[in-house]
Structure 1
Amino acid sequence: MSGRLIVVSNRVPLGGPPQGGLVVALHECLEEIGGLWVGAAGDTAEAPSQTFTEHDEASYRKLTFELSQEDYANYYLGYANAVLWPLCHRRGDLIDLQPEYHAGYMAVNERLAGMLAEIVEPDDRIWIHDYHFFPLAHCLRARGVKASLGFFLHIPFPTRTDLDALPNRDDFLDWIAAFDLVGLQTQADVASCLEVYRAMGEGEMLLDGTLRHGKRRFAVQSFPIGIDAQGFAETAVRGNGREILNLRPAEKLLIGIDRLDYSKGLPNRMRAVGQYLDERSENDPRATFLQIAPPTREGVEAYDDIRAELERISGQENGKHSDLDWTPIRYIHQMVPRESLAPILRAANVGLVTPMADGMNLVAKEFVAAQDAGDPGVLILSRFAGAAEQLSEALIVNPFDMAEMADAIRRALAMPQTERRQRHEALASSVFSENIGHWTQTYLDAFRRAAPSVTPMPLSA
């Protein structure tokens, strides 16, 4: 069998219907055209097998590979999330460089490349996702794999300055150049990538728009990821968000929904809400801020620190501003079902999406999709979210400036319905037309056009 699409991602959805826009989109794509989905198994193994485990629960093949506890510590928690994640999110101060992290990261990618090389046919197309697998194409090329290799990075592409913090930065340039098509979220990311190769790798932009690095020629394009806007809108009207939250009739709702991560700007956001409350007049409506921040990577010091900081800030602000019948900040550090999130977003008067750095941020698009077009809420969006390139009719703010964010909250709560509807109409046009299906189709169309450059490349030392 040849000409298959092989998707490689950190995890493969197993057991039950797929959840989440990206997972659903890839699932539907593979169901339609066939192929394989490859990813790590959910549990660690004492001695990882050198062969895939096949799961018989879809009309296409699902294959998983195993990680040992040491792999999980060094490849996943270590290099991927303690080095590459802060590197790509402009937090070089949080990078934890340990020799065993890089060794573990390369070992997993090389092992996976060896396993894939055994099953890949020359006419296959391999679509690799995210920072866990930066070196995978390079490892596959070194094994003589001639299939087309595509990549999509869901987080920001590192800048030249970011990469200066990486001891193996020259290897990084070879890793990326081993793909035929590199998909990034925004035009700003594409510009960062081109600047990196121009300044650090002596890259050459060719007349056909591709980039040359050494003997490799590859394409770099922006493919802003979308959501299942129609499906999310339908979920949003199946419940009553105000009843879920037990809000009073005149009470306004500000909403933030983010994983508990230092890139999301949560402490500054909460401080900005506090500043708004400090300056609020008696005639201003009561506005409750609900921040939902599910846990992630617990036990990692940087994440434990931000959790403690949020608990401290919310406690201080509630101590200053709460009344007998009103708690202005509600902070929830746990998962909330999607069936409740969508109606809550619909009920919100203001959506606060203020990351310090973000590849796209799909909560911004979900907020837009959930709104009542006749009486919509207002989106406040960080200029550092990838979504800001598409959603320019939001109130764009600097997440480092608490005064500006407090002023945007005040403006959003006072905004007349006519202006809210005009802004929402422009935002919804983008969110509904450039949805998750559009993203999948445009990437795969470009992938088919990308001519593979199969010059073998040796593995870097």
Structure 2
Amino acid sequence: MRGTKKSTSPGQHDFVVVANRLPVDRVTGADGTPQWRRSPGGLVTALAPTMQSSGGAWVGWHGGVDEPLDEFDEGGIHQVPVPLSASELRLYYEGFSNATLWPLYHDVIVPPEFHRTWWVAYREVNARFARAAAATAAHGATVWVHDYQLQLVPRMLRDARPDLRIGFFNHIPFPPAELFAQLPWRARILEGLLGADLIGFQRASDTANFLTSVRRFLGVTARKGGVQVPGTSRVSRAETHPISIDAAHIAALAQDPDVRARAVQIRVEMGDPETVLLGVDRLDYTKGIRHRLKAYAELLDDGVVQVGQTGLIQIASPSREKVDSYQQLREEVEGTVGRINGEYDSFAATAVRYLHHSYPVEEMVALYLAADVMLVTPLRDGMNLVAKEYVMARGADGGGRLVLSEFAGAADQLRQAIIVSPHDIDGLKAAIMSGIEMAPPEAKRRMSSMRRTVESHDVNRWSREFLDSLMGNAPGTTEESSA
């Protein structure tokens, strides 16, 4: 499959993004032919203007297996597909990335698995991404590598192209040293990350965890966030750069008449209860869906809330469905929903409306507008952008209440939310009731404050501040000269 046209030859791009996935999805056009459409994610939205103005390139996997593709242009961005075999998808992605690193980095909610075959595949695929980036970047270019699937790429790229300015951003939490110590290849991961000039994290605690691990496992002490890379005169810096959303886009959708009409329709379809609770998550064990359902079921059992007056919508988007722990989670969640509805449903109303689908952003904003109380209660989360989207959707009219886990990165910024530990079921029940019973003036004050925070710290500011910091740290800078 080809793109719209061939771009300039590799090695001519001054700005290169490297991520596990390309910023485009393959879709079927009206005439039945395969086409590419820009992905809706915030990262794409934030970086697209910079890439389009600079003739940037994006290196990533296109989503198919055993299917090499030529480079192509789409949406003003040069696309550089990195092929993966079915075996590599299983070992590198489903295995090491999502059954080793993901649970380890999320506080071992599910025990991580350590297999040398997975590590070998992870190393080989990272090398392939690094080679593609090296062949794409112009001399002295800026390369921005993203997320836990590609932690070895910065060092590999540095070895191949020392002329490059390299940034890395970790979108998920970075674990405490006591947990990171379990990883047999911990030193290799740290050395891989230190190939970057700047390493960005969501929370200050993540940055501190990384620097502690560098000191403990590499024997290198950081000074003001700068790490003197062993064996070189180069300094790699670790900084906190919390990611955000396209706030203006969400706010505009919240004012769209069609979206607002859909929000009214959603409430009618729910039986028009007095209070609509909403949870929106990927179906992932880190998201705390089981804890949330348990708290809601106990509120029903206590008689504090009644079906018909209160209803819960739980969106659980499909996620990593080939991984055993995710299959088990789906069975548990759907079983719990079935038990709650079987016990509390009436002919007129449903206790839990459970939807195992993904939805376009317009439908998500309609759901936000329909919800009186948003439940964002992950057990561990790097940021959680759903919380910020809800604030932007509801903040204009001052409606809505946000119940937010203290273990989500968003809690550092959205301090006016009802902050809760999802492990404390009684506390979670109390937080839900606080949201239901909160007086409108108090809710408006809190939501307006959070909206101002999100508006002033949107995804464009996030990318701009990271890149500005990266550009201020040229390749080969020593600690003394960068101080």
Q: TM-score range by the shorter chain?
A: over 0.9
Bigger Cα displacement from structure 2, 85-94 vs 29-38: 85-94
Q: Do the aligned residues in 2 keep the contact of 1:289 with 1:328 (CA within 8 Å)?
A: yes
Q: Do the aligned residues in 2 keep the contact of 1:186 with 1:222 (CA within 8 Å)?
A: yes
Q: Which amino acid aligns with 2:252?
A: E
The equivalences for 1:141-180 within 5 A come to 141-180=158-197
Partner of 2:29: none
Matching residue within 202, 217, 228 for 1:212: 228
Instruction: Please say if 1:223 is aligned against 2:241.
Output: yes
Matching residue within 350, 355, 371 for 2:378: 355
Secondary structure of 2:291's partner?
helix
Q: What are the superposed Cα offsets for residues 344-399 of structure 1, whole Å, 9 maximum, x if unpaired?
A: 11121100001111010000001101105334111000000000000111000001
Partner of 2:23: 13
Q: 1:361 to 1:283 in 2, by over 3 A?
A: closer
Q: Do the aligned residues in 1 keep the contact of 2:307 with 2:351 (CA within 8 Å)?
A: no
Q: Which amino acid aligns with 1:36?
A: A
Q: Do the aligned residues in 1 keep the contact of 2:13 with 2:57 (CA within 8 Å)?
A: no
CA distance in 1, matches of 2:340, 2:226: 52
Q: 1:281 to 1:120 in 2, by over 3 A?
A: closer
CA distance in 2, matches of 1:166, 1:422: 45
CA distance in 2, matches of 1:74, 1:414: 49
Secondary structure of 1:340's partner?
helix
Secondary structure of 1:424's partner?
helix
> Post-superposition shift, 1:248?
3.8
Secondary structure of 1:292's partner?
strand
Secondary structure of 1:166's partner?
coil
Matching residue within 55, 78, 94 for 1:77: 94
Q: Which amino acid aligns with 2:353?
A: R
Alignment identity in percent? 35
Instruction: Please say if 1:436 is aligned against 2:459.
Output: yes
The TM-score, its normalising length taken from structure 1, stands at: 0.93
CA distance in 2, matches of 1:2, 1:284: 61
CA distance in 2, matches of 1:281, 1:156: 36
CA distance in 2, matches of 1:284, 1:294: 24
Q: Do the aligned residues in 2 keep the contact of 1:182 with 1:218 (CA within 8 Å)?
A: yes
Q: 1:126 to 1:365 in 2, by over 3 A?
A: same
How many residue pairs end up in the alignment?
450
Matching residue within 202, 205, 209 for 1:185: 202
CA distance in 1, matches of 2:357, 2:309: 25
CA distance in 1, matches of 2:306, 2:139: 69
Partner of 1:243: 265
Query: Structure 1, unaligned stretches of length 5 or more?
Result: 456-461
Q: Do the aligned residues in 1 keep the contact of 2:15 with 2:143 (CA within 8 Å)?
A: yes
The equivalences for 1:69-108 within 5 A come to 69-91=86-108, 93-108=110-125
Q: Which amino acid aligns with 1:60?
A: I
CA distance in 1, matches of 2:327, 2:198: 37
Query: Structure 2, unaligned stretches of length 5 or more?
Result: 1-10, 25-35, 479-483
Q: Which amino acid aligns with 1:188?
A: S
Matching residue within 422, 432, 442 for 1:419: 442
> Post-superposition shift, 1:283?
8.8
Bigger Cα displacement from structure 2, 379-388 vs 228-237: 228-237
Partner of 1:346: 369
CA distance in 2, matches of 1:35, 1:373: 35
Matching residue within 68, 80, 88 for 1:63: 80
Partner of 2:50: 29
> Post-superposition shift, 1:454?
8.0
Q: Which amino acid aligns with 2:226?
A: T
Q: 1:164 to 1:293 in 2, by over 3 A?
A: same
